[in-house]
Chains A and B, each alone.
Chain A
Amino acid sequence: SQELEQSPQSLIVQEGKNLTINCTSSKTLYGLYWYKQKYGEGLIFLMMLQKGGEEKSHEKITAKLDEKKQQSSLHITASQPSHAGIYLCGADGTGTASKLTFGTGTRLQVTL
């Protein structure tokens, strides 16, 4: 079965600082999804990556998928308190873009 490991597990950064979250898969990914979750709430879709070497950006968040399609990184530039939450990567291991296997999650806190 596919396993996803995220690092770090938790992160505290000062407002305005940059940060990176990594997601490593035990198997080749058909697709990699990034979501943000506030505790006790649903998931907010951030980005989906499918091609090796692909990079996407939305506002101050950039996500990349490596050439081998086994590792992805999420980078936040000039972090803000609104970025605080739990970041989850989800892997599509079947190529059906349907059910996902999720990573362990990264809890981000942004201090003033």
Chain B
Amino acid sequence: GAVVSQHPSRVICKSGTSVKIECRSLDFQATTMFWYRQFPKQSLMLMATSNEGSKATYEQGVEKDKFLINHASLTLSTLTVTSAHPEDSSFYICSARDTNPTGELFFGEGSRLTVL
């Protein structure tokens, strides 16, 4: 089946630095990808919708300048956490929809960010 891959799976960075997380659809093209954030023992919260060739759409309360999203190609979306702070530490997961009739949504393995 379709696979979505995220990289890196784990990243530790110093406060004030920027971190980039990649989300790739490995065997299908995705004009739209989605970025979620998950706090410990909580559910997933949608952060933004990444649109290939255009600006991302952010959910209410998500800082656009803090979480930069770029959807450079039909198989790659990146999330950059800029000037990271400890409160940005979280589990970030992306998803992409296969264009087949079932409309199944596939999720990446997630990326755990720890900001020291």
Contact = CB atoms under 8 A, between A and B. Distances in A.
Interface of A: 31, 33, 35, 40-43, 45, 48, 88, 90, 97-105, 107
Interface residues of B, number: 25
14 contacts: A40-B91, A42-B93, A42-B108, A42-B110, A43-B44, A43-B107, A48-B102, A88-B43, A99-B46, A100-B95, A102-B36, A102-B44, A105-B43, A107-B41
Contact of A98 (B34, B36, B112): B34
| Of listed A40, A99, A104, residue having the most chain B CB within 10 A | A99
Given A97-B105, A104-B43, A43 B49 contact: no
Contacts of B109: 41-42
Given A90-B44, A98-B32, A100-B34, 14 more contacts: A40-B91, A40-B110, A40-B112, A42-B110, A43-B44, A48-B104, A88-B43, A90-B105, A100-B95, A102-B43, A102-B44, A104-B42, A105-B43, A107-B41
Contacts of B93: 42-43
Given A40-B110, A40-B112, A42-B110, A98 B43 contact: no
